[in-house]
Amino acid sequence: MNGTMILHILLGLLLLAIPAGALYVFDKPQLRNLGIAVGRMAGQLLVVCLMVWLLVKYDKIWLSLLWFLLLAVASGVFALRRMKLPLAQYLPPVGAGLFAGPLLVGSYLLWASLPVEDGFGARWFVPVTALLVGHSMTMCIRGLSTYLSALKADEQQYEFLRGNGTNHLHAVLPFVRRALQAVMSPTIANLSAMGLFTMPLLLCGILLGGISPIDTFILTLLLVVGCVASSLIALAVILWLADRQLFDKFGKLR
Amino acid sequence: MARDGQLTCITGAEGSGKTTLLRTLMGFLPVGSGFVSVDGELLTVLSAHAFRTLMVYLPQQIQMLAHQLTPPEASVSEADDYAVWNALLPCATETPQPSPLSPEDIFRLAEKTLSEAIDKQIVIADEPAAQLTPELSERMLQLLRNQADAGKTVLIASRRQLLIEQADQIITL
């Protein structure tokens, strides 16, 4: 980072004078909150970008995988806190799901599908898998919380099915269906709302990275499809692994 | 011992363990002492599922099985502001309990469940008339009586005099 770059940053940050000025006139107490939020955002961005810089600089697949593992675990912790679920009980399945789904789909995209060279280099591996983990985490919150709360609210239905000879796998299917609906319903809504005038940030980001518009189209399309596939694989792994935590040996919800 | 072709009624005061006994017989709860066997075969935690494939079960809280009659509709979502990958983190979803079934729907569900399990040999019903009107209780009794007449083992838990009086065998806890 040289002097010119610092000057550019400072000039850019001058734009903050507009919202800060507006708040100073109309809502002075919020001014402090704006300062804290901008500071926090800048700090977080700096940390993330330094990490990515290191990953890209050393460009070792094991290092990228280690970072990816940490990201999956951290996302799992974040998702579980959001759902107010015990970490000790649910982190192993959630972390594993958030690792497996994005890794499988990301590897497939980078190896076979995306029009990029050296897909497993940190330059591509890091942003693609981060995007998949981020989306899978969001969908994990929707899917797992729906599954758990539906099981709790409709425990009678599970027991009814079990009591009538349905095996465990088939007895949880109505609840899996509801988790799937909770994941797919907002996804479908978002996909269909992707309009010409509200350009998705991902598309903007890829364009800003210097990729041609046609390649940007392909990348965006495939990454969005990848996000959906990754979140479903993650959810399936999470539900499968969480099953033993959820039911006792008599098939009763713990 | 419950026998084929008979309607056996387990009765007793509230909290006497009728439901616990039925649930134990189905392998949902561990046996404290003694054992459960079906046609001489011991029912254990591991074998319980195999035995339950021979059973029809009408639970005590059957009125809460609305989704067994009508699967829940998926909620319609609005698009987030920044499309899929930038969605704000959602909050954990809370699923409300289904609305209780009406007495008519409870009877319809019981009838449907029994008619779909024509080849099952054991019928277990926990307070089958608790949520029903007197008229539907009579019809429920007839439904269960028909199962026994077809040679099935019918085991019910009830405090309703109507059902107790019509049972071939009464077990009081």
Residues of B in contact with A182 (CB under 8 A): 74-75, 93
Sequential DSSP letters for B46-57: TTHHHHHTTEEE
Q: Between residues B105 and B166, which one has the greater pLDDT?
A: B105
Residues A120 and A196 in one domain: yes
B61 lies in some domain: yes
Contact B57 A188 (CB under 8 A): no
Residues A47 and A67 in one domain: no
Residues A30 and A124 in one domain: no
Residues of A in contact with B64 (CB under 8 A): 154, 156-157
B37 lies in some domain: no
Residues A79 and A46 in one domain: no
Q: Provide, for chain B, the percentages of residues in helix, strand and coil under a 3-state DSSP scheme, each rounded to the nearest 5.
A: 35, 15, 50
Sign of CA dihedral A63, A65, A68, A73: negative
What part of A 156-185 touches B (C-beta under 8 Å)? 156-157, 159-160, 162-165, 167-168, 174, 177-178, 181-182, 185
B157 lies in some domain: yes
Least confident of A127-141, B43-57, B87-101: B87-101
Q: Which of A157, A168, A202 sits opposite B65 (nearest CB)?
A: A157
> What's the confidence (pLDDT) of residue A113?
86
> What's the confidence (pLDDT) of residue B168?
87
| pLDDT tens track for A93-148 | 999 999 999 999 999 999 988 888 887 889 899 999 999 999 999 899 999 999 99
Residues A193 and A219 in one domain: yes
Least confident of A46-55, A192-201, B110-119: A192-201
pLDDT at A54 over 70: yes
Mapped to the 3 state alphabet, what secondary structure does chain A carry?
A: CCHHHHHHHHHHHHHHHHHHHHHHHHCCHHHHHHHHHHHHHHHHHHHHHHHHHHHHHHCCHHHHHHHHHHHHHHHHHHHHHHHCCCHHHHHHHHHHHHHHHHHHHHHHHHHHHCCCCCCCCHHHHHHHHHHHHHHHHHHHHHHHHHHHHHHHHCHHHHHHHHHCCCCHHHHCHHHHHHHHHHHHHHHHHHHHCCCCCCCCHHHHHHHHCCCCHHHHHHHHHHHHHHHHHHHHHHHHHHHHHHHHHHECCCCCEC
The total domain count for chain A is 2
Residues A51 and A65 in one domain: no
Residues A132 and A189 in one domain: yes
B27 lies in some domain: no
Q: Which of A135, A156, A194 is best to mutate for the B interface (most B CBs within 10 A)?
A: A156
Calculate what percentage of chain B has a pLDDT beyond 70. 92
Please state the rounded mean pLDDT for residues A2-17: 89
Residues A2 and A124 in one domain: no
d(CA B126, CA B155): 8
Q: State which of A36, A58, A80 marks the end of a domain.
A: A58
| pLDDT tens track for A19-30 | 999 999 999 889
Residues A46 and A107 in one domain: no
**Which residues neighbour B16 within 8 Å (Cβ) at sequence distance 6 or greater?**
B173
Residues of A in contact with B87 (CB under 8 A): 135, 138, 186, 190
pTM, entire model: 0.82
pLDDT at A246 over 80: yes
Calculate what percentage of chain B has a pLDDT beyond 90. 17
- ipTM of this complex: 0.84
Model confidence band, residue A92 (pLDDT cutoffs 50, 70, 90): very high
pLDDT at A198 over 60: no
| pLDDT tens track for B56-85 | 999 988 888 888 888 787 776 666 644 444
Residues A146 and A197 in one domain: yes
A254 lies in some domain: no
B33 lies in some domain: no
Residues A49 and A90 in one domain: no
Q: State which of A14, A37, A58 marks the end of a domain.
A: A58
Q: Identify the CATH number of the domain in which residue B154 sits.
A: 3.40.50.300
- For residue B154, the enclosing domain spans 7-13+53-68+99-172
- For residue A50, the enclosing domain spans 1-58
B21 lies in some domain: no
In chain A, which residue's Cα lies nearest the Cα of B117?
A: A164
Residues A102 and A24 in one domain: no
Alpha carbon of residue A36 to chain centroid:
25
